[in-house]
Structure 1
Amino acid sequence: MDQHRCKPQRCLPGLRCAKNKRRINLLNKRLAVLPFALAAAFGAHAATTTRYLIISENANKQIGQQVVERMDDGLTKVTFGYKDNGRGPDLVEQFRLGADGTMSEYSVKGNSTFGAVVDEQFSRKGDQAQWKSTSEQGQTTVSGAAAYLPLNSSFEVESVAIAALAKTPDAKLALLPSGTLSQRQLDQVEVTSSSGQKQTVRLLAQTGVGLSPSFYWATAGDNPRLFAVVMPGFGSMLEEGWQAAAPELARRQKSAESQMLTDAAARLQHPLHGLTVVRNARIFDSEKATLGKPSDIYVLRGRITSVQPAGSPVRAADNVIDAAGRVVLPGLFDLHGHVDRWSGALNMAAGVTSVRDMGNDNAQLQAMLDETADGKLLAPQVVPAGFLEGESPYSANNGFVIKDLKEARDAIDWYAERGYPQLKIYNSFPKAILKDTVAYAHSRGMRVSGHIPAGLRAQEALDAGYDEIQHINQVLLNFLVKPDTETRNLNRFVLPAEKVADLDFNSRPVKDFVAYLAKKQISIDPTLATFAFLKQRDGDMNEPYASVASHMPPDVARGFKVGTMKIDGDAQLKRYEKSYAKMVDFVGVMYKAGVPIVAGTDDIAGFTLHSELALLVKAGLTPAQALQVATRNGARYTRTSNDRGSITPGKLADIVLVDGDPTKNIEDVRKVSAVITRGFLIYPREIDAALGIAPFVTAAPMVTRSDKPVAAAYGGSNEGARARIEASARKHD
């Protein structure tokens, strides 16, 4: 789906999806909306109007705007909206500020990116604050300044926070319903408008919301306000007339972020110099999907040199890691990621050492690959898939957006020359040139997968040469669409939610399709965890996050209860629940028929892969088979089996130490105690501490160097790291 289920600073507010939206509620009485009504009745006028333009990065075109009207009676009105990839939010806000610069009254109405109703209110009178949304309500007693965090909002809420933080002595501000927001300046630069006007703007980093820092450009002076938001790989929002400043702001922001990330990598990646032995490990055999006898694993310069029976003599090892009978997995694969610089920590903490990137800004991804190779980025190894889209009002603006076969071939050449093993085709790709494009990609040695271009069924894409299909909805739309069905808008979610409930898996068309998939060995990337949003109602915990919510920072856990789709009543909810349950079942049907399944997230990095594996077990796989999908199949369908996917001499030392036994209880895969990858030892509990996450494992394996214990040096707390790294998730296609 590639919906940007990610951290707030990476996404426009309507794109915060169910991950970092913030919501809570008012108890027994409605907000004091009388001042808003009075403002309208007495005809308040706008004292100032500020217009921000939202520009996509790849297409360099306006896709939305934010208009801020500050009325002469103190009321601020905001309209915010954009459209990208066939969807987007539309919000209308209004608020007033108290004497401390925080909002004393706030309301927002409209719809979220996927059509869910947005209706949220907040008020504070003296020390009493109360709030209400479509899913939660709350009230509390407040002492001093405190900023309310709406779950769906425009960027003007951030502008208010910037100004309020500037008035505090320590650049910290209490948050409602909980938490603390901090802000510090990273850079400043003078910019020039299209009319020749000049001003100085400052780059600010905010922490305390979500799992990674948020970056904003603000005006200088005693009363700062938001000037621009730069979202690498997506686009930017700047005050109208100042768009020419975007490239310079992006360059300087990248430099500042890179410094923070380099420092985090140095703190959280512990080099393993010389020979390392992991002793007494129960190795998961990914070919047989079984646990082997206790063994010792020898690692040198990032590769496995030998696997010996446990207790074999160790000769002059520089590092000895005592697995103490723990299960040891090959590094896990996420075969549907959209990586960014801040998501790597979550992947590492979850034992995900390889990610197939299924669509990104090309320049951004190339830079991240270089940074990872240089050890400057805490990140998994990335297997890139080249993104290819066609021109339309619904276009996604990643990778290359093409008009004809020549441009498609040129794009494929670009990807092939840079070693991309796979091509991903998207919704608006011209169906007339699909077969020739796939054939050309195959001639360059690339696999081809993707969404099903509008106007086609999945079977027709397979006939054109597809090797793989992304997302369970794209598979099942094969039985739900007609040639004129528009699948580039919300139909691609609504139709499966409405109609899969009645789909007969024993019908001849369905059986024939599954048999074709098995015969041709077409791999399926179902991303079941990300599609759980189809049956989530406001206020209910989204299923993939139930096991992790209690570990997350409060504002992140709060977002797990925010609905994404518009669901009208219990009858529709039950229908959507039935449809989603059958989607899960269909993955089991395909697997049992011999269709290759791969494990991908398209969601918050790291722990959502564990949820995907749990859903595979729900579909009928055994826990060991699910682990095999995330290890052997991950390597097989990224063409990296020569050096990944199993713990075998000669392969990369991507090694995950797990407490418990995930071959019997798949939930134990969350209990990662240590990870070895790219010659580094990484402790998830250190990353958790840096991100404000309650650790899933508190004890780390003992490490000795030259017969000297050094667990404290590697496994201790990481004071101060939180200010340097906080990471999180992306996207429904």
Structure 2
Amino acid sequence: MAFAATERLSILSNGESVGSLVIESEGSRATVDYRIDNNGRGPKHREELTFDAQGIPIAWTIKGTSLMGGAVVESFAWSGGRARWTSQADRGAVKADRPPLYVVNDDSPYAIWVYARAALAAPDHSIAVLPSGRITMEKLRTLTLGEGAAATEVTAWRLTGVQLNPSYLLLDGEQKLFALFGPSAEGTTIRAGNEAAVPLLGKLGSELETERALQLQRKLAHRFDAPVRVRNVRVFDPETGTLSPLSSVVVMRDTIAQVTAEDGRPVPADEVVIDGEGGTLYPGLHDMHSHATLPAGLMYLAAGVTATRDMGNDNGFLQGLLTKIDAGEVAWPRIVPNGFIEGRSPYSARFGFIPATVEEALGNVRWYADRGYAEIKIYNSMNPDWVKPIAAEAHRLGLKVTGHVPAFTSPDRMIADGYDSIAHINQLMLGWILKPEEDSRTPLRLTAMARAGSLDLNAEAVQRTVGLMKTHGTALDTTAVILEQLMLSRAGQVPPGQEDFLSHMPIGFQRYRKRSFVTIANKAEDAAYQAGVAKMLETIGMLHKAGIRLLPGTDDATGFSVQREIELYVKAGLTPAEALRAGTLGAEEFLGRADRLGSIARGKLADFVLVPGDPTRDITAIRRPRMVMKGGVVYFPSEIHAALGIQPFTTAPAIRPAEKLAAREGNDHGGHEDAY
């Protein structure tokens, strides 16, 4: 078919081209070719659409492969007053007098534009969507990109309601897609020929998302000039794994002032009082494998996560975020930054630095050290011969070293050459599974875990690695949750561990999670992945018994995944108390901050979580935080979730303000005041 119009857009990450979007349209029809190749993976699919006179799709098909290579076959059609759809997530049909706006499961930047155009044509720029939910467009600002004849006036818009995080679009005067961008230079889609504007869009995205984050922080962060007393709680002690009798914890500014047993004395009238109603107070959780985004901070806090270890990011973005967090401008857990260093190959990840020589890599280490980074993270394409000098320079400067096991080498060599921890349990186990010639820069580093089921954990190679870890004190950040999500993902099914929260989420997020990220050709492959997950958990239990420090990490940014990671430790054989210790005090011991954080004691920083129930008996109790405190600032997860378009899971505890004193910020407690 000859098409009358062709639009080409480039997709860039960290300043480098990683994909393209080509749109061919004629009349009411359009086809879209979308592909990304980044870090050895990326979606590649073709869309075909037919629109009605109002620009709403009445037919939409998508075929190709998803992020990890899984097959994509999706379709939507409206005719005869009925809308029907089929996707990996679900299938359904509803009566509809006119075409509804369908949110696809495997979307693209073009799909985001389709939603945006439909919302702009609706009253108040808001429209209901299938299978459920509502999306909204918000106009932000108008600007001109380019100069002279190439100058284009565009308008920036924020689209909410599809995914957990908003999308930012630039539309030209004809409301055509000029760019899809975010709060850093990573993952920008822009009209071909305008790639030079990507750094500007990274700054613009940061400004727009920062404005939103500042507004949310002012609304959701509750700060007090008076002492804050959290009473009627049982305090979890990660050292003993036990709960205290009913107690009160008093916080002044950012520090725990007192931890005392309830004794029946009257509460001073000049204190803010939060009634824990017999619940459990435990130290804030840690995500020891995070990649920070600005919107993720509130999600983490709502899940009871008060500290993260950033394992690689856009350097400029992360430096700016750290400044905002330190100033208290945005809601975020504490961040321990890792400096990302990758080798150059067709599979390179576009983060941090990609040095051309070992001398340049050593300079990168010094750059990170001068900016207060705690660790260096090494990635898949790194030359294994460079690891030892990189680690030596990092250690000389007081930094630890972590990372993937680079392709065509072994975890044993990386441990001997200076790794203080290994990132991902699959990166450790691949050393016992892969053949020497197999390339772990590809999705094989994940899919090869289907071979793990037959692994003998008493084998010489396995125990040799464990022995090296014990000798060198090497820790493992497990990220078991992301392996479980990948290996047990099945089309149309809610993934394990997500049953109680997924239905609360925005529709696009729900549907994307109910899909298969791996190709399952037959029952044997299904069983192999199931066995691989079981062996992964068995390995975690074995490492724990051997005395290897386990660091709960997720490679995800929802916060819910941290809770699941802790639960998986229990499934692996740790007691709930041991799993909680790993995610609290154990993480701080590794980070060298256990004197200030990781337990609830007088003089320590006030980072803790209130939940109903007893997580030392039922670890799933950590899924229902009612209040989270980070550095003395109080957050109520029910407020956070409501503000982010998520159906809340709990109610906030009763709070009594101090007499003649009021909160300095976030003074409206959303109706939580109660007679006490």
TM range (shorter): over 0.9
Is 1:360 aligned to 2:317, yes or no?
Answer: no
TM-score by length of 2: 0.95
2: CA distance, partners of 1:422 / 1:661: 35
Aligned to 1:149: 103
Aligned to 1:570: 523
Give the distance between the partners of 1:240 and 1:554, measured in 2 at CA.
31
> How much has 1:668 moved relative to structure 2?
0.3
Looking at structure 2, the residues matched to 235 and 210 of structure 1 have their Cα atoms a distance apart, in angstroms, of 16
1:88-136, Cα deviation, whole Å (9 max, x unpaired): 1111111110122110111111001101000111111142110112452
Aligned counterparts, 1:39-78, within 5 A: 44-57=1-14, 60-71=15-26, 74-78=28-32
Q: Indicate the percent of aligned positions where both proteins have the same amino acid.
A: 35
Partner Cα distance (2:185, 2:144) in 1: 24
Secondary structure of the equivalent of 2:483? helix
Give the distance between the partners of 2:150 and 2:421, measured in 1 at CA. 52
In structure 2, what residue type is equivalent to 1:272?
Answer: F
Structure 2 CA distance for aligned equivalents of residues 701 and 600 of structure 1: 32
2:169 matches 1:216: yes
Q: C-alpha distance in 1, partners of 2:160/2:608? A: 32
Please list every run of 5 or more consecutive structure 2 residues that lacks an aligned counterpart in the other structure: none
The aligned runs of 1:548-559 (5 Å cut-off) are: 548-559=501-512
Q: Distance in 1 between matches of 2:53 and 2:466?
A: 64
- Counterpart of 1:251, as a letter, is K
Structure 2 equivalent of residue 230 of structure 1:
181
How far is 1:261 from its partner?
1.1
* Structure-1 residue corresponding to 2:118: 164
1:138 aligns with 2:95: no
**Pair 325,164 (structure 1): closer, same or farther in 2 beyond 3 Å:** closer
Distance 1:416 1:346 in 2: 29
How far 1:143 sits from its partner (Å)? 4.0
Query: Partners in 1 of 2:220 and 2:172 — Cα distance?
Result: 34
Distance 2:185 2:519 in 1: 28
Deviates more, 1:531-540 or 1:311-320: 311-320
Instruction: Tell me if the contact between 1:100 and 1:145 (Cα under 8 Å) persists in the aligned partners.
Output: no
State the one-letter code of the partner of 2:180. Answer: V
| Matched AA of 1:125 | S
Residues 373-421 of structure 1, C-alpha deviation per residue, up to 9 Å, x if partnerless?
1121111111111111111111111111112221111111111112211
Q: Which secondary structure does the structure 2 equivalent of 1:705 belong to?
A: coil
Q: CA separation in 2, counterparts of 1:447 and 1:410? A: 16
1:101-116 aligned at under 5 Å gives the runs 101-116=55-70
CA distance in 1, matches of 2:45, 2:470: 46
Residue by residue over 1:124-170, the C-alpha shift from the partner in whole angstroms, topping out at 9 and shown as x without a partner, is 11421101124521111124452111111322122222322332232
Distance across 2 between alignment mates of 1:310 and 1:284 = 15
How far apart in 2 are the matches of 1:123 and 1:431? Answer: 52
* Selected match of 2:496 from 529, 534, 543: 543
Alignment of 1:212-361 (within 5 A): 212-220=165-173, 223-231=174-182, 232-311=184-263, 317-361=270-314
Q: Equivalent residue of 1:661, what SS?
A: coil
> What does the per-residue CA deviation read over 1:203-256, in whole Å, with 9 as the maximum and x for residues that have no partner?
011111122221111112xx4111101232513111111222223333233222
Deviations 1:291-349 (A, max 9, x none): 12222222112011222222366556432222232211111111111111100111111
Distance between the aligned counterparts of 2:513 and 2:528, measured in 1? 21
Pair 555,197 (structure 1): closer, same or farther in 2 beyond 3 Å: closer
After superposing on structure 2, the runs of 4+ consecutive aligned residues of structure 1 that deviate more than 6 Å are 707-712
TM-score for the superposition, normalised by structure 1: 0.88
| Distance (whole Å) between structure 2 residues aligned to residue 290 and residue 571 of structure 1 | 44
Matched residue SS, 1:529: helix
Q: Aligned residue for 1:12?
A: none
Instruction: State the partner residue of 1:39.
Output: none
Question: In the TM superposition, what is the alpha-carbon distance from 1:199 to its structure 2 partner?
Answer: 1.9
Secondary structure of the 1:264 match is helix
User: For the Cα contact (< 8 Å) 1:280–1:323, is it kept in 2?
Assistant: yes
Counterpart-to-counterpart distance in 1, 2:435 and 2:259: 55
The worse-fitting range, judged by mean Cα deviation, of 621-630 and 148-157 is: 148-157
Question: In the alignment, which residue of structure 2 is the partner of 1:184?
Answer: 138
What is aligned with 1:583? 536
Q: Could you say if the C-alpha distance between residues 709 and 432 of structure 1 is closer, same or farther in structure 2, counting changes exceeding 3 Å?
A: closer
Is the CA contact (8 Å cut-off) linking 1:228 and 1:237 kept in structure 2?
Answer: yes
- Which aligned pairs between 1:363-374 and structure 2 lie closer than 5 A? 363-374=316-327
Letter in 2 for 1:208: G
C-alpha distance in 1 between matches for 2:540 and 2:508: 33
Question: 1:290: how far off?
Answer: 1.4
Distance (whole Å) between structure 1 residues aligned to residue 358 and residue 59 of structure 2:
55
Deviation at 1:263, TM superposition (A): 0.7
The alignment of Structure 1 onto Structure 2 pairs a total of residues equal to: 668
Q: Which residue of 1 aligns with 2:414?
A: 461
Post-superposition Cα deviations, 1:546-579, rounded to whole Å, max 9, x if no partner, equal 2322333344323221110111111110111111
**How far did residue 437 of structure 1 move?**
0.8
SS at match of 1:600: coil
Q: In structure 2, which of residues 482, 492, 502 is the aligned counterpart of residue 530 of structure 1?
A: 482
Tell me the equivalent position of 1:8.
none
**Separation (CA, whole Å) in 2 of partners of 1:294 and 1:589:** 36
Preserved CA contact (<8 Å) 1:660 1:671? no
2: CA distance between counterparts of 1:316 and 1:132? 60
Q: Counterparts of 1:408-557 in structure 2 under 5 Å?
A: 408-497=361-450, 499-532=451-484, 533-557=486-510
- 2:315 and 2:144 map into 1 onto residues whose CA distance is 29
| Structure 1: stretches of 5+ with no match in the other structure | 1-43, 718-733
CA deviation profile, 1:245-299 (whole Å, cap 9, x unmatched):
2233332332222111101000000112132222232111111221122222221
1:309/1:135 Cα in 2 relative to 1: closer, same or farther (>3 Å)?
closer
Matched, 1:85 2:39: yes
- 2:310–2:338 CA contact under 8 A, matched in 1: yes
| RMSD of aligned Cα (Å) | 2.0
User: In structure 1, what is the equivalent of residue 618 of structure 2?
Assistant: 665
Mapped to 2, the partners of 1:93 and 1:518 lie a distance apart of 52
